[in-house]
C-alpha cells in the first residue's frame, strides 16, 4: 500500500522548517514498511487522484497573495477531500487560507478556500515564541509560533486545543488552531510533527483507514528521541 502526500505550494509556503513535517510522515511510514509518494503541488498543476494526506506550510503575505487565485481554483476539490475524511495538516499561512479570508495589515483581503470555518485579520504586532497547548485528542502539543494574524473560529469548527503557554490563535480567547473532521490547522511551526509523534501517527492512521475502509492498528515505534525533543521544547520559556 502506498500513501500519497499532497504538499501544497512548497516553494511559496515553506517557512520555519515546515517541510520537516512531510519528512516526519515519510519516515514514520517507511519505518513501518509503508510506501510513500510525495507530490509537490504548485500553481496551475493538476491534483492527482487518490491523494491520502494534504499538507501545507507557512508563508509571508506576498506568498499568500501569489497562491490566492490558484487555491480558490482547487478549493472545491480540497474541500471535497476533507469532507470525505482525508487527513490534513495546514500550518500558519495555509491554515489562514483554508479559512474564509485573511485580511492583511494594509487592508487587503486575501480570499481563502473556505474549507475551515475561520477568519483571520492581521494584528498590530507579531506573536512569537514557544507554545504549549492541551489539544483535544492528542494530549500536550509543543511548537513555535511566529505570526501577526489573529484567527477567530466560527461555530462549524472547534479549536485544535487550549493554550497552556503562548498566544495561539489570537492571544485573547485561549484557543490554538482548528480541528474539523480529520483536518488540523495550527500556527505551530518547529516543525510540529517530529516533536509530536501522536499527531503524525493520527494522520497516517486516518489515511490508511480511509484508503482501506478498515480499522488500522499501527506498529509501535521507539519514540525515545521524539519524546526527548518534545520534553526539551516544552521546557523552553516563551
Mind listing the pLDDT tens digit for each residue in 154-178? 999 999 999 999 999 999 999 999 9
CATH code of residue 117: 3.40.50.880
Secondary structure (3-state) at 110: strand
Q: 92, 147, 178, 230: which one is catalytic?
A: 92
pLDDT per position as a tens digit, 140-158: 999 999 999 999 999 999 9
Distance of CA 83 to the CA centre of its chain: 16
Distance of CA 189 to the CA centre of its chain: 9
Domain tally, the chain: 1
Task: Match 480558490 to its residue by C-alpha cell.
Answer: 72
Specify the pairing of strand 2-8 against strand 175-176.
Answer: unpaired
The C-alpha cell that represents 104 in the structure block: 492583511
CA 135/CA 198 separation, integer angstroms: 11
CA-closest candidate to residue 150, choices 108, 191, 118: 118
Predicted TM-score (pTM) of the model is 0.96
CA 21/CA 89 separation, integer angstroms: 9
Inter-residue contact 6 to 55 (CB < 8 Å): yes
For the chain, the average pLDDT equals 95
The C-alpha cell that represents 230 in the structure block: 518534545
- 88 is known as an active-site residue: no
**Average pLDDT, integer, range 117-126:** 96
- 92 is known as an active-site residue: yes
Which structural domain, as residue segments, surrounds residue 13?
Answer: 2-214+223-234
Residue 65: pLDDT over 90: no
Q: 7, 147, 179, 189: which one is catalytic?
A: 189
Amino acid at each position: 500500500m502506498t500513501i500519497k502526500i499532497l504538499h501544497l505550494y512548497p516553494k511559496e509556503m515553506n517557512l520555519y522548517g515546515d517541510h520537516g513535517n512531510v519528512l516526519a510522515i515519510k519516515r514514520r511510514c517507511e519505518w513501518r514498511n509503508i510506501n510513500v509518494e510525495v507530490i509537490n503541488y504548485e500553481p496551475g498543476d493538476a491534483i492527482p487522484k487518490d491523494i491520502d494526506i494534504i499538507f501545507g506550510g507557512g508563508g509571508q503575505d506576498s506568498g499568500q497573495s501569489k497562491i490566492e487565485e490558484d487555491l480558490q481554483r482547487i478549493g472545491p476539490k480540497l474541500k471535497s477531500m476533507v469532507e470525505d475524511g482525508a487527513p490534513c495538516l495546514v500550518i500558519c499561512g495555509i491554515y489562514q487560507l483554508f479559512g474564509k479570508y485573511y485580511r492583511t495589515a494594509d487592508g487587503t483581503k486575501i480570499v481563502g478556500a473556505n474549507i475551515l470555518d475561520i477568519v483571520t485579520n492581521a494584528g498590530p504586532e507579531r506573536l512569537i515564541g514557544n507554545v504549549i497547548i492541551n489539544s483535544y485528542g492528542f494530549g500536550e502539543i509543543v511548537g513555535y509560533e511566529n505570526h501577526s494574524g489573529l484567527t477567530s473560529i466560527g461555530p462549524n469548527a472547534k479549536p485544535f486545543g487550549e493554550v497552556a503557554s503562548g498566544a495561539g490563535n489570537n492571544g485573547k480567547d485561549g484557543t490554538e488552531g482548528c480541528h474539523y473532521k480529520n483536518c488540523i490547522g495550527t500556527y505551530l511551526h518547529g516543525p510540529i510533527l517530529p516533536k509530536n509523534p501522536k499527531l503524525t501517527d493520527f494522520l497516517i492512521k486516518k489515511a490508511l483507514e480511509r484508503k482501506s475502509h478498515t480499522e488500522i492498528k499501527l506498529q509501535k515505534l521507539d519514540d525515545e528521541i521524539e519524546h526527548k525533543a518534545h520534553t526539551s521544547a516544552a521546557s523552553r520559556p516563551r
